[in-house]
């Protein structure tokens, strides 16, 4: 087990590709983030996930709380624009009542989640909620 102050605990870094044909139809780079979130939801590891779908305009990201496989599949693919999904952590835990939240995002967003776990000044009752990042 490797422990990094920014990344958290991990055992290895790997390159992977989904085996789920439905996910691969519209995945960005192998569909592994989608596959992992679906797996975590179906296995009860998480209660829901904060994901990003397309907004009213195709280039406009729209974060939302995914509570089902179908919701997660709606967020497949990458949108190359700034997305405020980290701000949805409070929404997911308070409005949706989620205790175990999956979060998807790019490296800097995951670093923000990790920092919120380490320094929870403005995230009362939230830092322990992210489980699958």
The predicted-structure confidence for 10-53, as pLDDT tens digits, reads as follows 888 888 999 999 999 888 788 999 999 999 999 999 999 999 88
Please count the other Cβ atoms lying within 10 Å of the Cβ belonging to residue 85.
23
Which residue reads 């997660």 in tokens?
A: 72
For the question of whether the overall pTM of this predicted structure is more than 0.85, the answer is no
User: What does the block give as tokens for 127?
Assistant: 């830092």
């Amino acid at each position: 087990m490797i422990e990094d102050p920014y990344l958290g605990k991990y055992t290895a870094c790997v390159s992977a590709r989904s085996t789920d044909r439905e996910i691969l139809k519209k995945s960005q780079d192998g569909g592994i983030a989608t596959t992992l979130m679906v797996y975590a939801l179906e296995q009860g590891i998480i209660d829901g996930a904060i994901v990003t779908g397309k907004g009213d305009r195709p280039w406009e990201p729209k974060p939302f709380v995914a509570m089902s496989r179908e919701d997660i599949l709606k967020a497949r693919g990458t949108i190359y624009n700034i997305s405020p999904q980290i701000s949805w952590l409070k929404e997911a835990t308070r409005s949706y009542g989620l205790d175990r939240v999956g979060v998807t995002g790019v490296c800097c967003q995951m670093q923000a989640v990790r920092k919120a776990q380490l320094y929870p000044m403005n995230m009362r009752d939230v830092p322990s909620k992210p489980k699958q990042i």
